[in-house]
Structure 1
Amino acid sequence: MTFARAYAAKQMSAHDAVGMIHDGDTVVLPTGVGETPALLEALSEQRREFRDVTVSQILPLRTFDYLEPETRGHVRHAALFLGGPTRKGAQDGWIDVRHSNFSEMPELFRRGLLPVDVVFAMASEMDEHGYFSISLSTDYTLAAIEKARAVVLEVNPQVPYAYGDCHVHLDQVAAVVEDDRPLATVGLPKIDEVEKAIGGHVADMIPDGATLQIGYGAIPDAVVMQLTGRTDLNIHTEMIGDGILSLTESGAVTNRGKSVKPGVSLATFALGSERLYSWMHRNRGLEMHPVDFTNDPAIAGANDLLHTINGTIEIDFTGQCCSESIGYKPYSGTGGQSDFVRAGNRSRGGKSFIVLPSTAKGGTISRITPTLKPGAFVSTSKNDVDHVVTEYGVAQLRGATSAQRAERLIAIAHPDFREELGIKAQEMHLL
């Protein structure tokens, strides 16, 4: 049978494909843009026909009807990383939260520690050899596919066919659903003066020839916009976005100096504009790989001059970073922060940066605190944190004593809070 005939035999409606789910199943979805809107709409419409089905995913972008507390006994969400559609449900207790470093999720699926029965994934059109590209979100999806009973691809002609280890063969697929709606897009964030100042401090410490991991957000993009004058930069990151696209188009990125996959930018998921997705299509200068490759600290850290940039919510005097909760209330997830902090520490000549504005809530709260809020999740440990950056400067913590850490962090806190923080540090016998 030709691939075209085999494809036609597996093609069905989203409504029918949802019938492959059994009561008690866990349905795994890729990160962000890789989620499958046609299939999730069909699942939402039929949700009351199921019992005890779980949808497991990192960073959902759209709000579907199955995300209702009233029907959680039929279909319930288990978050690997929270987004806008799932944050309140997690804080109220009717959405489950699973905790893991991003890099370790594929192995957790392989070991059965993260359950999977069915995989829904967005994919490109099939090539002449029977392969689809799951370019938008390679992440943990290939590992989940290895373990799943059934794999359903939502094929959209707007999904780029990317290179790398991001392909699924028709033989692995139980059903194909076609949909041509526009892909989800995320524009560049607005950058204020505080974020621009933080970005400037980081950019000043990034040399020509550096390899970069840059996450999503205003501060990482503020760094990127101040690096266009650099030469021979390299990209080894988890997320490819419009900031990196702009940096590449400026000519600053050549990928000549990488130890891991020289000559190409590496990422595991994409989040950006239609222009970004178009640029990804059959681009030999980009490869998409599973997250246990891109985020493995040993692999990423094999690149010389690896510079990693990640945000946090608050940091205490020891350097512990809470990046995923507000007190005990979950806000996002661990993601790849600790993966890349450790990778930057391993890299010869590398640095890791934790970035944050000095205050929150209109300047009424200091993000640099003597201790984290009760119940706060520690995302990056005191033993791993390297450079901490606010708009007031850089505190280098790695190798520093407890007293040095407190002193350096107070020096980059907002001036309105430095006296208060200093008094507290004295009470704690740090100064």
Structure 2
Amino acid sequence: MGEGRQIALADLDLAQFIRAGDSIVWGQSAAEPLSLIQAYVAQRQRFARTSVFLGIGGANSLQPAHADAIDMRGYAAGGSHRALGMAGVLDPIPCHYSQIPQLIASRRIPIDVVFVQVSPPNADGDCSLGLAHDYLVTAMRHARCVIAEVNADVPWVAGASLRLADVDAWVQSDQAVVDVPAGKIGPAEEAIAQLIASRVEDGATLQLGIGNLPDAVLQALQGHRDLGLHSGTLGDRVADLVDAGVITNARKGIDVGVSVTGLLMGSARTRRWAHNNGALRIAGTDYTHNARVLGQTQKLTAINSAIEVDLTGQINAEVVAGQYLGAVGGAMDFLRAAAACDGGLPMVALPSTARGQSRIVAQLSGPVSTPRADAGLIVTEHGIADLRGLSLAQRLRAMLAIAAPEHRDLLAAQARQQLN
């Protein structure tokens, strides 16, 4: 790696860098380098077959029709990549998020070419990765070729940088960065958030998944004090809580005074807040999801979501109606760490129903993403089932109590049939 050639987008011929059979990776969600992805898609027939390793999609840049020349693999079918999962063209890699850097380094997930979106150089000549560190830096270290997209909309964030002289080529882009605004909060999410907020102690360190529920929880924490943040992602509502003095990281135990994340998934509001913010750092997945690091946090409160949970606490976060629409992700990394942490709270939250169907079920319709031995507190709008230390019979009663009332009798009958 390292010629640092600037190439005009109109003159970019990716066949100079990509070989037949290569595997390519780029940033997730807001970190997608849109101009490079669009060029790759437009030129895809020139490389014979290539493959991409995908995370959370941001801008619908990759469509099911592009499977005519691209093999699509990934750890998640989140965001715009749900369409790939629904079309059956995404080949999932079920793995814990914490494992991805090591899988890339060992070439069990081979990466040959990296597309990365960066900020313009600062006075020292360094470009910030700004929106994502996660597994990108590991991929850059082990790839044959790195192509950068320089975008003035990318904030300068401490934690991951590069020099343009050290990449193989770079392009200038003025495309707007993908916005991931805070989600819309409905009555069920609001009720769940209030229940969770009632259990979060001042001084706790937060980890949150993505989607409407984590946003609702953050909104419900406005009255708390000295919260910390160590999470795989952050967005607009984290920025709001920092500005409100709720998240200070003062009692965090590690990285005191600094919010740590692997990926920024917000709107322009988050990017403005993040730019040159000395109280924010992006870090690799091998740090944000590292068990030894998480063990040093204060009162780690892990708040994740699920597709469905059975009456014994088994959690499916991957498959809906036979279609891969989620991920194993980082939930179990954080749930185990929170369970082992003094004062920690391992939480999984979900509305009790979706489209009239119960999401508390007698038997999962998909895989066990998190085993019942790692289930902690399951939260719906109807209450909290703290499964820690409970027997199977006790769990059944606790889970029925947080199911939607109209589904409880059927669930109880189904549970009795299984026990017999």
Which of 21, 30, 34 does residue 33 from structure 1 map onto? 30
Among 385, 390, 400, the residue aligned to 1:410: 400
Q: How does 1:22-421 map to 2 (within 5 A)?
A: 22-64=19-61, 67-69=63-65, 71-164=66-159, 166-361=160-355, 364-373=356-365, 376-421=366-411
Give the direction of change, closer, same or farther, for the CA distance of 1:343–1:17 in structure 2 (3 Å limit). farther
Q: Which moved more, 1:333-342 or 1:394-403?
A: 333-342
Q: CA deviation at 1:327?
A: 4.2
Say if 1:301 and 1:343, in contact at 8 Å, map to a contact too.
Answer: yes
Shifted more, 239-248 versus 212-221: the winner is 212-221
Query: How much does 1:233 deviate?
Result: 0.7
Task: State whether residues 214 and 303 of structure 2, in contact with CA within 8 Å, keep that contact through their aligned partners in structure 1.
Answer: yes
Displacement of 1:68: 4.0
Instruction: Give 1:402 deviation, angstroms.
Output: 0.6
Shift of the alpha carbon at 1:75?
A: 2.3
SS in 2 for 1:112: coil
Distance in 2 between the 1:303 and 1:319 partners?
26
Q: Report if the CA contact (8 A) 1:259-1:304 is conserved.
A: yes
| Residue 13 (structure 1) aligned with residue 14 (structure 2) | no
Deviations 1:118-144 (A, max 9, x none): 000111112333322112111100110
Letter of the aligned partner of 2:268 in structure 1?
E
**What TM-score, normalized to structure 1?**
0.93
Deviations, residues 48-78 of structure 1 (Å, cap 9, x unaligned): 11211112120121223x6343x53422322
- Taking the aligned partners of 2:400 and 2:250, their CA distance within structure 1 comes to 39
**What is the CA distance between 1:301 and its match in structure 2?**
3.0
Contact in 2 for aligned 1:79/1:86 (Cα 8 Å): no
Shift of the 101–122 alpha-carbon distance from structure 1 to 2, 3 Å rule, reads same
**Which string of whole-angstrom CA distances, capped at 9 and with x for unpartnered residues, describes residues 288-321 of structure 1?**
0001101123312321211011111111112111
How far apart, in 2, do the equivalents of 1:21 and 1:273 lie?
32
Structure 2: gaps of 5 or more residues: none
Alignment of 1:423 onto 2:413: yes
SS of residue paired to 2:75:
strand
Residues of 1 paired with 2:188 and 2:161: CA distance? 41
Alpha-carbon contact 2:94-2:328 (below 8 Å) kept: yes
What's the CA shift string for 1:346-365, capped at 9, x where partnerless? 2111011100111111xx21
Q: Is the 8 A contact 1:32 1:137 kept in 2?
A: no
Per-residue CA deviation, residues 324-365 of structure 1 (Å, 9 max, x unaligned), is 21143201212211111112112111011100111111xx21
Query: Residue 423 of structure 1: CA displacement?
Result: 2.2
Give the 3-state SS of the residue equivalent to 1:163 in structure 2. coil
- Cα distance per residue 1:380-410 (max 9 Å; x no partner): 1111110000011000012211111111000
Counterparts of 1:359 and 1:231, CA distance in 2? 32
| Correspondence for 1:3 | none
Amino acid at match of 1:367: R
Question: After alignment, is 343-352 or 91-100 more displaced?
Answer: 91-100
Does the 8 Å CA contact 2:30/2:180 hold for their aligned counterparts? no
Helix, strand or coil at the partner of 1:287: strand
Q: Does the 8 Å contact 1:297/1:346 carry over to 2?
A: no
Q: Is the 8 A contact 1:328 1:377 kept in 2?
A: no
**TM-score of the two chains, using structure 2 as the length reference:** 0.95
What percentage of aligned pairs have identical amino acids?
33
* TM-aligned CA deviation for residue 222 of structure 1: 1.5
Tell me if the contact between 1:298 and 1:346 (Cα under 8 Å) persists in the aligned partners. no
Amino acid at match of 2:139: A
The one-letter amino acid of 1:182's match is A
CA–CA distance in structure 2, aligned partners of residues 128 and 395 of structure 1: 53
Q: Which runs of 5+ in 1 are unaligned?
A: 1-5
